Chains A and B, each alone.
Chain A
Amino acid sequence: MENLKLRFTTRGPIPGTARSTIVGVVASGNLEVLLERVLDQNECAVEIATPVRGYDDVWKAVVADFVERASPGGMRISINDGGARPDTVALRLMQGVRTMEAGDE
């Protein structure tokens, strides 16, 4: 297992009131993303646990683009990766943010 920790300053907080959500599943080629609204509204922390080594650069690029696109202020994001491809990671992160915005369901 490789662990990667990234921190970002965002343009602002993400809308919505949901305290936390989980999207995805832990499975081969997939991943689980936990989002928690626990940080300051201009802060975002991302922790990645992945079984695949040697893709740090790709992870950093995927997460940086996501933060730029979604401005997920206030979020602590924990990723439990099962060897997902970057496209799946990017999609899951966007789904997580949309779920947080959507409300408490």
Chain B
Amino acid sequence: MPSANHSVYEAHPVRVAAAVEEAAHKVGEATEQENCKAVAREGAAVFRPGARGSSMNARSNGPSQRAWDTARQSREQRLAAAARYARGKLVSHEDATKLLEAVVRAGDRVCLEGDNQKQADFLAARLAEVDPAVVKGLHIVQSGVVLAEHLDLFEAGIAKRLDFSYSGPQGAAIARALKAGKIELGAVHTYLELFSRYFVDLTPHVALTVARCADREGNLYMGPNTEDSPVVIEATAFKQGIVIAQVNELVDKVPRVDVPGDRVDFVVAAPSNFYVEPLFTRDPAQITETQILSAMLAIKGIYEPYGVKRLNHGIGFNTAAIELILPTYAERLGLKGRIATHFALNPHPTLIPAIESGWVEQVHSFGSEVGMDDYMRARPDIFFTGRDGSMASNRMYCQSAGLYATDLFIGSTLQIDLAGNSSTFTKDRIAGFGGAPNMGSDPRGRRHASDAWLKAGREAAGETTSLPRGRKLVVQIVETFGEKLSPTFVENLDSIELAKSLDLALPPVMIYGDDVSHIVTEEGIANLLLCRTPAEREQAIRGVAGYTDVGRARDARAVEDLRARKVIQRPEDLGIDPLDANRSLLAARSIKELMRWSGNLYDPPRKFRNW
């Protein structure tokens, strides 16, 4: 059988080489279709049965004569084009842009590594400098779109299509670029989902990664900030892609091999250290009494009755407040050792007092947190550390842990509707999800029991006597009003309108209402597991929605009925004294007190040093 693939490959102008590369990722289709170019169109994972006819008749039982290593050949070409800039694997930072022009082809899928923490910021700036006449139409597949340079790629036409998870500070810029037609949005994923697609249909052709140091062989040491890198690099390297690492320094021997050198093609020592966002640091000085009250509600009304030991905390002041009242309020309740012992959690500085007072048995982390390195190194019983002593993180492993091995997720959100659906997207911000939809969902593939999980399952099942099933506790903890008195509870999520205006196939919902088990506000706890009808669920939500329009439109009688059934519980129903909702309940009231708790091992970043 003559190979269309091969002849196209032989021609190999830059444009066609990219198409071959694309085809190589779709081997299954290419063997059955005559026209390789049709297959190779960007993102066109469309099977066309009508195009099969004649080639089917021509099939024999012998092995195919087509080329089976087009991707490897493309890789060899790229390496050859880059050779003039490299000495071994080392490339001078001054040649980084030229290196990228040599190895990145139009239409490539590129992971420009950046997540909600560490950033390959030097390589991002260099990629934004390439000639957009040559390197164009890239498909960016990375978890975080966080830097201004990430958006510059789309403005310049270097990149066209985007699949991501989290945008944080660039949320408004992404929305603008989408509306202006500069970005074709694939999907907003949860981390685990995007990483999984790296192995199925979003395999990067080029990965630009970031490490603390490298040796000449390309072995990478990432220290506590391993984060997304292992999964990105494995998917890229083992599918004949190119891996380039920016590093803070070159060394003779790395302290620990986080990524083996034979998966790394080029190493660039960047002129300055890579940026890490201290995203998980919350200054206890800013925690309000309302947040403390909600934290008490969560502990007394959820952690205690379900006996929640294994959990994940989302980012925010509400969860920071919970961490800071474990050694005070929860200690008084006699809960030490009975709740909050095992965490899938980034190293939150606000967890230090609970760790120091013996609450926490172990913590596995997605990434690191700025300033926590020395503290974690000194607490290997708590944190996962390498033989070199430094902490080791891994976002994919920890996301899996949070999905399957925890009984509770608790986190905040911006908007909740009457069915309990929640979203952090607003009309002009594509915020992304990060890990929340993964942590905040009931994993139907779970098959191990725990008391917390079974109790939640019993509550959800009610009177029905079917098979015993468990249920994850998915808790949304919010204040009824957010910034600038914007209500958290709404009739309709802004993201639904946003999806319409951008013609998105799937309205961006962070956590679906049917996954939410409880909503905690300063007004009380709504247990949605106990609601039997949509109308009950709506009144349970209105019943904790405070003085928002949604809250004030409650059916007061229905809400009191729900309260009698303990579907809604108020602070006084749980014996919580509002006088305790006081900042003196916090085990640490400032960043400086966190440092003291840590024996000065915690070294907070400058922006949190306000003394």
Residues of A within 8 A of B (CB): 58, 61-62, 69, 85-88, 90-91, 94-95, 98-99, 102
Q: Is there contact, CB below 8 Å, between B547 and A86?
A: yes
User: What 8 new A-B contacts, CB under 8 Å, besides A85-B479, A95-B581?
Assistant: A61-B547, A85-B290, A87-B522, A88-B288, A88-B290, A91-B290, A91-B522, A94-B578
Q: Is there contact, CB below 8 Å, between A87 and B546?
A: yes
Docked CA distance A61–B577 (Å):
22
Q: Is there contact, CB below 8 Å, between A58 and B547?
A: yes
Q: Which of B480, B577, B579 contacts A86 (CB 8 A)?
A: B480
Question: Which residues of chain A have C-beta atoms less than 8 A from B552's C-beta?
Answer: 61
Docked CA distance A94–B580 (Å):
11
Would you list 25 pairs from A and B whose C-beta atoms are within 8 A, ordered by A residue?
A58-B547, A85-B479, A85-B480, A85-B481, A85-B485, A86-B480, A86-B546, A86-B547, A87-B479, A87-B521, A87-B523, A87-B546, A88-B288, A88-B290, A90-B522, A90-B523, A90-B546, A91-B290, A91-B293, A91-B581, A95-B579, A95-B581, A98-B577, A98-B579, A99-B579
Q: Which 9 A-B pairs have the closest CB atoms?
A: A86-B547, A94-B578, A87-B522, A98-B579, A85-B481, A87-B290, A95-B578, A58-B547, A95-B579
With both beta carbons as reference points, the residue of chain A lying nearest to B570 in the complex is identified as A69
B289 adjacent to chain A (CB < 8 Å):
yes
Docked CA distance A102–B578 (Å):
12
With both beta carbons as reference points, the residue of chain A lying nearest to B479 in the complex is identified as A87
Q: Classify chain B: how many residues form its interface, as a range.
A: 10 to 19
Docked CA distance A52–B579 (Å):
26
Question: Which residues of chain B have C-beta atoms less than 8 A from A94's C-beta?
Answer: 578
Question: Which residues of chain B have C-beta atoms less than 8 A from A85's C-beta?
Answer: 290, 479-481, 485
Docked CA distance A19–B57 (Å):
99
Question: Which residues of chain B have C-beta atoms less than 8 A from A87's C-beta?
Answer: 290, 479-481, 521-523, 546-547
With both beta carbons as reference points, the residue of chain A lying nearest to B548 in the complex is identified as A86
Docked CA distance A58–B481 (Å):
12
Docked CA distance A91–B481 (Å):
14
Question: Which residues of chain A have C-beta atoms less than 8 A from B479's C-beta?
Answer: 85, 87
Docked CA distance A95–B293 (Å):
12
Docked CA distance A90–B485 (Å):
15
Docked CA distance A28–B552 (Å):
25
With both beta carbons as reference points, the residue of chain B lying nearest to A69 in the complex is identified as B572
User: Chain B 566-595 against A: per-residue CB contact (8 Å), 1 yes, 0 no?
Assistant: 000000100001110100000000000000
Looking at the assembled complex, report how far the CB atom of B367 sits from the nearest CB atom of chain A, in whole angstroms: 32
Question: Which residues of chain A have C-beta atoms less than 8 A from B480's C-beta?
Answer: 85-87
Docked CA distance A36–B572 (Å):
24
Docked CA distance A98–B521 (Å):
21
Docked CA distance A88–B480 (Å):
11
With both beta carbons as reference points, the residue of chain B lying nearest to A95 in the complex is identified as B578
Q: Which of B479, B522, B572 has the most CB of A within 10 A?
A: B522
Docked CA distance A85–B522 (Å):
12
User: Chain B 282-306 against A: per-residue CB contact (8 Å), 1 yes, 0 no?
Assistant: 0000001110010000000000000
Looking at the assembled complex, report how far the CB atom of A102 sits from the nearest CB atom of chain B, in whole angstroms: 7
Looking at the assembled complex, report how far the CB atom of A18 sits from the nearest CB atom of chain B, in whole angstroms: 13
Question: Which residues of chain B have C-beta atoms less than 8 A from A90's C-beta?
Answer: 522-523, 546-547
Q: Which of B462-494 contact A (CB under 8 A)?
A: 479-481, 485
Question: Which residues of chain A have C-beta atoms less than 8 A from B485's C-beta?
Answer: 85
Question: Which residues of chain B have C-beta atoms less than 8 A from A98's C-beta?
Answer: 577-579
With both beta carbons as reference points, the residue of chain A lying nearest to B288 in the complex is identified as A88
Q: Which of B289, B547, B572 contacts A91 (CB 8 A)?
A: B289
Question: Which residues of chain A have C-beta atoms less than 8 A from B290's C-beta?
Answer: 85, 87-88, 91
Looking at the assembled complex, report how far the CB atom of A95 sits from the nearest CB atom of chain B, in whole angstroms: 5
Q: Is there contact, CB below 8 Å, between A88 and B289?
A: yes
Question: Which residues of chain A have C-beta atoms less than 8 A from B577's C-beta?
Answer: 98
